[in-house]
Structure 1
């Protein structure tokens, strides 16, 4: 069996974000203080993206990303460039275990729609030219369901949440078409919201909506977006429990959402966190249809630089294969290495060692 799959996700894959180098932090600070222009900042970004593209290919990865080097956050940069959504500084940042996140968020200010001049489309075109067919280029964007996180939806603009959902569906259909027309053939939707629905610790029921209703709504939104997906476009969902300077936000097994979202979401693959006990066991994987979406097991942590034991990772893949065929499994880090510009607490060398480690294990398991 070949390590190369005829379509993504790949046996050795990765979530997308990479640690920002010091040169990029410096340039961004200089831009903020007016010492360099936007064009000069972009030149630094482009040079660093070229460097990490070469590194990903050198490691043997068949999929590359831009490391999200042009972004500050994995989600907010994309969302705030949609019509009807704006970025702002709230009174407090989101609570992660042991740390409060930098204060920034988005909110709904008008009817939501896709902006045809969205900067991410141009960013992809430039990345695709850099890669020049030497690997598959993955575009990552936040899931449409991220717009249902607390504090974003404005009930004065959308008194009926179902109307809000319909506009989000159309917005993402238009986004997918724009990316497809730009050349995207592998798109990943990063979703903390759906993973949050799997956490019994999060009180989603504020008196208006039950958890069951919100799970059903999330599935309808996801599948509504996917209805017009081109046949040759691979779309995956990455479920994340929070990733901020190596801190996490919540925990919970996939068991609550598995019968609905894992069983029925019409994506081509799921990237699932499985690097520690916070995600529970592999039993929920039995809900994923045979010959359905591939499951990319996030068994290698991105939250620290210590390299896992190779045989232990192989044993966990074997354990997962009790619930879903081995041929349907792949391997990746549990999350990105820098979901925000701050990055996780490990070195760039440790990051590359993790990705090389994943390539080696994938080759040993799948040949």
Structure 2
């Protein structure tokens, strides 16, 4: 019979897009962990615990797994819940404008970055992004006539007894929850324009994630911390570590035990797509801005620009997480995820799963895929791993 893993570990888990409720993340991740323990015959106790965090004065609910027979080892599960911040904050019209702007920039970006494509082409680095580019361009061609047709419904309704207006309202009612609940989250979080009203929402999501990670790091009983993110939550997890890396580089840096952070786990991650289509990029002649942006997004990232600048500026960032282990899980039937090629991840740590779910549905199937839990538990908890 397998034994409970030794040590005192905390997992901080960040959910992705969609209509998430409080404790959904704790439920999904917690059930995955206890199913793994059940399969391996590990006897455990599961408890709901409360803690008041002095910094900020907020009370947190989290889960603790301990050995059945007692002992000092434990596994804490914490969730970063951010869905409430984006709820009903963006309209379908704003999403439509965001989508049009994004699609308009796709072809231009690829046309202007042929050198980048050639650089990574030999290692199959951008194959998926090129396929996505074709799909998005096809979507853009389809979107414009569809949008024009919908706009005709309103004047047509005057000639057809109001059926056009009724259909328009029906379409908006059916589509709005999906647009605002899924695309809306992406539109809000990928906004890096400080002039946008959504920029402050993005900053608040990051502040909440940082606050949770800081609180867990400050717990003197915790020995190691693993940060996990699903879907857009993987982008938030990446940005959280990147922000900590920047803050650790400041002269008045907060004294945090960053060495407790032992790993990053991403699943269903769109990080490559985010880097290509939504991250800020410098113009060809903006060689100073390009270097600054590269240094500000430098946590395990590969270069997105290969133009040699006339002057190289010194990098102020201390790369405190340069050697942090990072494992990424993806499935070919998940259109959001993929092998992360634009980051410094070893090939054996970009793990393709066989979730056995239809295209699209696979994106939410990671939570119940016990072999994934077995694999990262083997890496970070010393338990036997078998992806099967």
Q: TM-score, normalised by structure 1?
A: 0.36
The structure with more radius of gyration: 2
Which of the pair is proportionally richer in helix? 2
